[in-house]
Amino acid sequence: MRAATSNNIPKITTKETEHLRESYPSLSHLEAGNIAQWLQERKEQLFEMARVSENEADMTRVLGLLASGIGAVCYAVNPMALVGGLIGGAAWLWFVVEHSNRTKEIAPLPFVRGNFIDALARAGDYDNRSNYQADHLANTVKFLERQSAEEYAFLHAEFENIGQYLTQVEPGKRFYAYRWMFGWFGKLKGRQLPTYQSMALHLQDVTIDSRVNLSEISAIAQAQTQLPPTVDIKQFQSPQIDIRDTRQTSELSKPEELQSSANGLSPETITHLPLANRANALIAALTKSGFQIEDMMSSQVIAIAGTQRGGKGTLAAILAILSLALDSGLNTQYFTAGVDVYPFSCNLISALKYPEKDADGSDKLVARDLLKFLKGLDASEPYSHKNLLLVIDEAMRLLSLLDESDRTWAIQYLLSRFAKCGGTLIIVLHGSNLTSVVGKATAGLADTFKQSVNFIGCVAQSVSAGGLRKINVASGEYFKANPNNFAEPVNGGNLGMIPDWLKIELHPGNGQPDPARTLLKFFPELVQHHQPAVMPRGEKIAPSDAVNQLESIFSKPTQELEIAEVEFVSISEADKEQILNIVTSAVTTPVSFAAIRNSRKWGEEKPSVRYLRSAIAQLIESKQLKGSEKLGFTAF
């Protein structure tokens, strides 16, 4: 009776979803522990699917154009040729429309990738053609369906992290965990993965998949053989540290170890020296320990790049603190997303400046502040900011919040023209190479700025957080990175490791050694605890669209008249609907103020300038419109 009951357990899949799991490589390998091989197989499968789709797309366009041409030429001889031509033309048009809906590109010609207008522009631009060839892989993936293309981007960007996550998931839940991570990757717009802790908490409520083939999983696990390696790979593995072991922390915190490692150099012995002398003494001690701090500051633009939790922000803070100690008159401007900032002296622009906003809202305002600052630098005289040190942490997060045109301009300015202002830039990038960071925004710059920017890579290590749980922390090891692959050091580019005597203080968040906070013990004058800004009672932060609108008003010659015209006016709901109708039905966006006022939909009586401005201001305030008179308006 029990057997009959078990056989009658209904399937959780439906006829619409049953085939989905069959489109993946064998899930038994994934559940049995062949995780890296399974992920690589899936990645190659998606790319092969993209290549086949691209070939089919080229064939569709060739046959469609050929049939249309034959039909147009031979219709007088045989009327049926015209029918064939129409069918071929319809197939060609179907592909062009379908491809445009998916990629927003017009690609009417076979074997010509990307937008047709862009292809014409590439014809006479060598640098543009070079960048186009470098993006060959990304252009092939565009031929996949949208979800498959996103999955390829997910695997391409987070391959190592996915493998580390899934290794710690129990068999039977790994495919579910893979799809869960992919879903969050899409929700977060590819910026990051959720933490392992959040996934572990979620999986506690997930049962082992009833569809797994236990016999296959067992057979695969038993068939796995360990071949003797030709090279002992253990020598390349980072040490595994159990963060629950407080004995290691107490050993590092002994003053005797600090003194013996740095030849008697300790905060107590050198704080009486002038700032510059202390900085020189520490730089000499770091160099003697094998940490090439001077090589890291060998350029006006220093890009610290690599994976999450690799110690990028820590190195940026160390370089900024030592630079400020060497030159007390240095103007240090520090932009970062979020609120996790190091307590050193600087003009900080972070989410702490906007405490009444949520995380996304405050980061958007910080990104706006960064853009304004860069615009001001670009408009200044060359070499007029020689005492400037600009630090941009979480750069990809901030740049991703800008409009595409502003983001492209900011990236090109930072990597190509910033040095002309005379200052020094330390920018922290999260990505695997320049293409993953800036995409096509470096068109025309490629080799020029690669040689002028000092790329520094970093190494993360996995430490135990108890049981099967692990977290990534910085190893303290750095190297000169290849601009084409941030994980790959250039020949002879080892920059050393942060010495143990600079790992005494612990980070208040994760309890791991914090070199930046340890360094500040040598420079108590440079400590500045950053607190959230206090907003005056009753005041609110204006939305960025309102700020842009006011800026456009103040930039006009008739300031007083226009300021008076934005006061509150009673607006009818019908007129608001008419404005939204004009904006949403426009052929091109954004729609200018003049185009809205002069629209034929108003009939014979156009609204006054004052009335229309008040109506638009109310629509912006109610989040139905966005934009400004300077930039034009679009509907949400």
Residues 423-435 have pLDDT tens digits of 899 988 876 656 5
Task: Evaluate if residue 190 carries a pLDDT over 70.
Answer: yes
- Rounded Cα distance between 400 and 360, Å, is 11
- Rounded Cα distance between 109 and 492, Å, is 47
Query: What three-state secondary structure class fits 300?
Result: coil
Q: Where are the alpha helices (DSSP H) in 262-298?
A: 267-270, 275-288, 293-296
Task: Evaluate if residue 618 carries a pLDDT over 50.
Answer: yes
pLDDT at 186: 84
Cα torsion angle, 280, 281, 282, 287, sign:
positive
The model's pTM: 0.47
Is residue 410 within 8 A of residue 371, CB to CB? The reply is: yes
- Rounded Cα distance between 302 and 131, Å, is 23
Task: Evaluate if residue 145 carries a pLDDT over 70.
Answer: yes
What mean pLDDT do residues 310-335 have? 88
* Consecutive H or E run containing 437: helix 434-438
pLDDT at 234: 41
Q: Please, how many CA atoms are within 13 Å of residue 620, restricted to the half-sphere of its CB?
A: 23
What mean pLDDT do residues 191-202 have? 81
Selected residue with higher pLDDT from 51 and 553: 51
DSSP state of 382: T
Range of lowest pLDDT (22-26, 193-197, 433-437, 577-581): 433-437
Phi first, then psi: give them for residue 459, nearest 5 degrees.
-125, 130
Query: What three-state secondary structure class fits 464?
Result: strand
Most confident of 129-133, 145-149, 510-514, 603-607: 145-149
> Residue 620 — pLDDT band, cuts 50, 70, 90?
confident
> Residue 498 — pLDDT band, cuts 50, 70, 90?
confident
Is residue 505 within 8 A of residue 513, CB to CB? The reply is: yes
Task: Evaluate if residue 573 carries a pLDDT over 70.
Answer: yes
CB contact set of 366 (below 8 Å; sequence gap of 6+): 335, 336, 337, 349, 350, 351, 353, 354, 398
Q: Where are the alpha helices (DSSP H) in 439-514?
A: 446-452
> Residue 225 — pLDDT band, cuts 50, 70, 90?
low
> Residue 8 — pLDDT band, cuts 50, 70, 90?
low
Length of the chain: 636
pLDDT at 566: 41
pLDDT at 272: 83
The position carrying tokens 């005041």 is 539
What mean pLDDT do residues 388-407 have? 84
The percent of residues above 90 in pLDDT, for the chain, comes to 6
Quote the distance between the C-alpha of residue 122 and its chain's center.
27
Quote the distance between the C-alpha of residue 420 and its chain's center.
27
Range of lowest pLDDT (254-258, 404-408, 510-514, 547-551): 254-258
The percent of residues above 70 in pLDDT, for the chain, comes to 70
Selected residue with higher pLDDT from 10 and 515: 515
The position carrying tokens 């290794």 is 167
What mean pLDDT do residues 573-585 have? 83
CB contact set of 466 (below 8 Å; sequence gap of 6+): 242, 243, 244
CB contact set of 185 (below 8 Å; sequence gap of 6+): 150, 154, 158, 193
- Burial class, 32, CB count within 10 angstroms (exposed 0-12 / middle 13-18 / buried 19+): buried
Range of lowest pLDDT (45-54, 101-110, 266-275, 340-349): 101-110
The position carrying tokens 């790994």 is 174
Quote the distance between the C-alpha of residue 64 and its chain's center.
40
> Residue 389 — pLDDT band, cuts 50, 70, 90?
very high
- Rounded Cα distance between 417 and 383, Å, is 11
What mean pLDDT do residues 203-231 have? 74
pLDDT at 444: 45
- The C-alpha R_g of the chain, in whole angstroms, comes to 30
pLDDT at 3: 40
pLDDT at 221: 77
> Residue 370 — pLDDT band, cuts 50, 70, 90?
very high
At CB < 8 A and 24+ separation, what contacts does 161-166 make? 161/193, 161/307, 161/308, 162/39, 162/193, 163/35, 163/36, 163/39, 164/462, 164/470, 164/472, 165/193, 165/196, 165/199, 166/30, 166/35, 166/39
Spatial strand order in the sheet of 453-466: 347-349, 331-335, 388-392, 424-430, 301-306, 453-466, 469-482, 485-497
Residues 175-185 have pLDDT tens digits of 999 999 999 88
The position carrying tokens 């429309």 is 97
Residue 173 vs residues 108, 162, 206, 418, 421: alpha-carbon distances, Å: 45, 14, 8, 49, 54
Q: Where are the alpha helices (DSSP H) in 75-211?
A: 79-103, 116-122, 126-134, 136-141, 146-167, 174-187, 196-203
Query: What's the one-letter identity of residue 386?
Result: K
The position carrying tokens 């999260």 is 430
Selected residue with higher pLDDT from 568 and 402: 402
> Residue 38 — pLDDT band, cuts 50, 70, 90?
very high
- Rounded Cα distance between 103 and 139, Å, is 10
| Terminal CA-CA length for the chain | 60
Task: Evaluate if residue 315 carries a pLDDT over 70.
Answer: yes
Q: Where are the alpha helices (DSSP H) in 289-394?
A: 293-296, 312-326, 359-378
- Rounded Cα distance between 476 and 239, Å, is 12
* Consecutive H or E run containing 274: none
Beta-bridge partners for 399: none
- Rounded Cα distance between 189 and 84, Å, is 44
Residues 65-107 have pLDDT tens digits of 777 777 766 766 666 766 667 777 777 777 777 767 666 676 6
Is residue 210 within 8 A of residue 29, CB to CB? The reply is: no
- Are β-strands 625-628 and 632-635 bridged in parallel, bridged antiparallel, or unpaired? antiparallel
Query: What three-state secondary structure class fits 332?
Result: strand
Selected residue with higher pLDDT from 469 and 588: 588
Query: What three-state secondary structure class fits 181?
Result: helix
Query: Which two tokens mark 58?
Result: 């080229």
Residue 441 vs residues 27, 56, 255, 434, 435: alpha-carbon distances, Å: 39, 30, 49, 10, 9
Range of lowest pLDDT (30-34, 171-175, 482-486): 482-486
Largest CA distance in the chain: 101
Query: What's the one-letter identity of residue 564?
Result: A
Of 515, 433, 495, residue with least CA distance to 134: 433
